[in-house]
A and B are shown apart, each in its own frame.
Chain A
Amino acid sequence: MEIFLQQIVNGLAIGSIYALVAIGYTMVYGVMKLINFAHGDLVALAAYVGLTVLMQAFGMHLSNLWAVILMFTVTAMFISLFGIILERLAYRPLRKAPRLSAVVSALGASLAIENGIMLIWGPNIKVFPSNIFPSTRWHISGVVINSTQIAILLLSIILMIALYIFINRTKIGTAIRASAIDQDAAKLMGINVNGIIIAIFALGSFLGSIGGLFIGIYYRELYFQMGWIYGLNAFIAAIIGGIGNIPGAMLGGMLLGIFNVLIAGYVSNTWSEALTFALLIIILIIKPTGILGERVAEKV
């Protein structure tokens, strides 16, 4: 039972990272109906940029806390900007093109970012320092929680609540939701859809960059192809929750995190990806629109 609870705690930490990344997929998909395959690589890029900033900060003899704050701010700003530029260069020219052309453009962007990382940081594994958060551990009825996990969970939950309020309570949030339902109608209502798309790329990339930094802090090992695998998992999370649905992405992320950890812990490590995808396919067969997704009937 204790082991099980421990797994759940670990799963929630991983799950919140998936959730942060999944939101980026789901928001872009919601408005543009595009699987942004480059999102995962943006997440990987965030981890690398974060590491570089952190090393620079340590080089300047900043205290641990300030170095981490600097890492988060600089990385988040850089990646958000990167997301906006990516949209402008690779996706906006294809807004009216066949959908799969934009998908291929996204695959191209993914390839370019992945190999760009390799060109800048080299093909070898980079390692995050281990002392970013204090090595405090809490023992609660046999379950060990370390400060990194607490930080990840807390910060993720805060960000997700903030996002939820932003989407549901602000004017821009309403505009984003309106654009997701019907872009043309939104345009007619005077919503600047271009502006909305820039906003979702900035927001999605921002949350993804936090996810990427958490990956760096939590797993510590960085390799240039890592965007694919984390991206794919986050993307599955978005679909399980119901793509286009922001609370769905959060829920899907958490569920997938727990599922992954339980599979690795109780079933098999070598079959984990296959089982994750088997779960996804089963969910799609039973409920094609994911847990919280609504079926959109086509008007005839």
Chain B
Amino acid sequence: MLLQLNNVFKTFGGIVAINNLSFEVRNNQILGLIGPNGAGKTTVFNCITGIYKPEKGTIYFDGKNITGLKPHVISKLGIARTFQTIRLFPSMSVAENIMAGRHTKCRQTWFDSLIRTPKYFKDEKENWLKIKYYIDLLKLSEYTTSIVSSLPYGLQRKVEIARALASEPKLLILDEPAAGLNNKETQELVDLIYQIKAMGITILLIEHDMDMMMSLAEYIIVMNFGEKIAEGIPSEIQSNPQVIEAYLGSE
């Protein structure tokens, strides 16, 4: 068990965003989280990554209680994410953006940075070479020095994933990675996600593209109004009447 949510509860100004949600993610699984808009999926991600603090319930990651820890601490434990609305560092280059993923892996202290100790040089070289690896992996080498805000949407999504991978996470959280991508790009993304799984990384995925979700996810959690309404393997979910009702509305 890599990630475990127990009765997580979160409100915003009296409105319940997540109501006693529990689920588990197994090692190296691709787990999908689906639900209509406003079901609270992104809020779940924000609770896991520490951006929000759940009011009740616990979250365990890799055997450690991470409930309410700061995002930077949780990141260090091996959770990386992408954002629903892309959050890159807009005026910086592709390589510098991906380098953010290496922040917790860089060993130089601020003092090494300041006066350039031998450790600094070794550390910089090691980590930049890692960046080169991820740039090549995502076929971004053409754009290494490009400023990210000048790149098309599809490429920005790729940079976000590269940045997340560069942190060598145990768990990768993808928040609607296919949003705004064309068919070809979506297919590339599916291949990439398989590739990431093959690297031994566990994947937690929110996606509105049902075809993609059904083919990709090994297990699916369905949310509506902040609650879990169903879970199971894709074929079970597709035939679940509650899920169909949530998506199509009851008669």
Please, which residue of chain A has its CB at the minimum distance from the CB of B52? A300
Please, which residue of chain A has its CB at the minimum distance from the CB of B175? A300
B contacts with A, residue count (CB < 8 A): 6
Bound CA–CA A299/B51 (angstroms): 11
The smallest beta-carbon distance between A295 and chain B, in angstroms, is 10
CB interface residues, B 9-48, toward A, < 8 Å: 12, 42, 46
Does B83 lie at the interface of the complex (its beta carbon under 8 Å from any beta carbon of A)? Answer: yes
Residues of A contacting B: mostly: loop
Please, which residue of chain A has its CB at the minimum distance from the CB of B13? A297
A contacts with B, residue count (CB < 8 A): 3
The smallest beta-carbon distance between B160 and chain A, in angstroms, is 14
Contacts of B42 in A (CB 8 A): 300
Bound CA–CA A30/B12 (angstroms): 24
Bound CA–CA A269/B42 (angstroms): 54
CB interface residues, A 253-300, toward B, < 8 Å: 297, 299-300
Bound CA–CA A30/B17 (angstroms): 29
Per-residue A-contact encoding for B144-176, CB less than 8 Å = 1, 0 else: 000000000000000000000000000000000
Contacts of A299 in B (CB 8 A): 85
Bound CA–CA A300/B42 (angstroms): 8
Please, which residue of chain B has its CB at the minimum distance from the CB of A98? B91
Bound CA–CA A300/B12 (angstroms): 13
The smallest beta-carbon distance between B115 and chain A, in angstroms, is 30
Contacts of A297 in B (CB 8 A): 12
Please, which residue of chain A has its CB at the minimum distance from the CB of B83? A300
The smallest beta-carbon distance between A184 and chain B, in angstroms, is 14
Please, which residue of chain B has its CB at the minimum distance from the CB of A298? B51
Please, which residue of chain A has its CB at the minimum distance from the CB of B51? A300
The smallest beta-carbon distance between A101 and chain B, in angstroms, is 14
CB interface residues, B 171-225, toward A, < 8 Å: none
Bound CA–CA A155/B83 (angstroms): 52
Bound CA–CA A112/B70 (angstroms): 46
The smallest beta-carbon distance between A156 and chain B, in angstroms, is 35
Contacts of B85 in A (CB 8 A): 299
Bound CA–CA A285/B138 (angstroms): 45
The smallest beta-carbon distance between A212 and chain B, in angstroms, is 41
Per-residue A-contact encoding for B44-86, CB less than 8 Å = 1, 0 else: 0010000100000000000000000000000000000001010
Bound CA–CA A299/B46 (angstroms): 11
Bound CA–CA A297/B83 (angstroms): 17
The smallest beta-carbon distance between B105 and chain A, in angstroms, is 24
Contacts of A300 in B (CB 8 A): 42, 46, 51, 83
Bound CA–CA A132/B51 (angstroms): 60
Contacts of B83 in A (CB 8 A): 300
Contacts of B12 in A (CB 8 A): 297
Contacts of B46 in A (CB 8 A): 300
Bound CA–CA A253/B231 (angstroms): 57
Contacts of B51 in A (CB 8 A): 300
Bound CA–CA A297/B43 (angstroms): 13
Please, which residue of chain A has its CB at the minimum distance from the CB of B91? A98
Bound CA–CA A297/B51 (angstroms): 12
The smallest beta-carbon distance between B200 and chain A, in angstroms, is 28
Bound CA–CA A297/B52 (angstroms): 11
Please, which residue of chain A has its CB at the minimum distance from the CB of B45? A300
The smallest beta-carbon distance between A113 and chain B, in angstroms, is 33
Bound CA–CA A297/B11 (angstroms): 13
Please, which residue of chain A has its CB at the minimum distance from the CB of B46? A300
Which B residues form the contact surface with A (CB < 8 A)?
Answer: 12, 42, 46, 51, 83, 85
6 contacts between A and B (CB under 8 A): A297-B12, A299-B85, A300-B42, A300-B46, A300-B51, A300-B83
Which A residues form the contact surface with B (CB < 8 A)?
Answer: 297, 299-300
